[in-house]
Structure 1
Amino acid sequence: MAGILQAAEYAVIVKADSPVNKISQNELRNLYLRRQNFIENQKVIPINTLANNEGRLEFEQRVLIMQRNKLNKYWIKQHFKGITPPSTVASYKAALLFVSNVEGAIAYIPLSMVNQTVKVIYEY
């Protein structure tokens, strides 16, 4: 049986005036795993929501393609290399506010929350 297409529920966003218009899943994965820090000559500040947030779990599984235990092991290894995970905010509203005000910030929020202060560069 062929795979079932799933409608996008979440948007990866940047500030509305960002030069970044789209991003590949691989680039997004590299940014959030801190393997890459720039996109289109723009320093990127990836933002996560809290660990128990449904959107974060979806992001980890559908974009990073990692289960939580594997991701935790990854960050333990990175810690010893001096690499820290992305910063965390308490809510989607906080993520939206941060991205709309901070140059280079990138985050994920429900598609329904997107407004004119941000630009969608990826959907999942």
Structure 2
Amino acid sequence: YPSASKRPVFTLEERVALCADVLGHLPNVEVRPFESLLADFVNECGAQIILRGLRAVSDFEHEFQLASMNRQLVPGVETMFLTPAEQYAYISSSLVREVAALGGDVTRFVHPRVQRALDERMARS
């Protein structure tokens, strides 16, 4: 469920379908949507680890707060942070969305299936 400050280009159902298309070949990956608290979803799934990405140091404070809150809501579930390779650290969905909306080429930043979906959506806008 996106934060109130985010405006996704695609609906939840569309995002799930795109993720399933892109990741469907991986036998150990399951794409599951949720619109509740992450803590509730983690409990529902029986998960023990939450993986979060950190692009920059500026992400850390917010992510640390989320991890601390989740630790209170679901004790025993750990949050692990992953950092990207340097060549990907600047990429964000907001920037990709903006470049695509302005007609820029985002093929280096997204899977070809996502590129097609973005092209179709931006053509309708």
Which has the larger Rg? Answer: 2
- What TM-score does the superposition give when structure 1 sets the normalisation length? 0.29
Q: Report 1 or 2 for greater relative contact order, CA contacts < 8 Å, sequence distance ≥ 6.
A: 1
**Between structures 1 and 2, the one with greater strand share:** 1
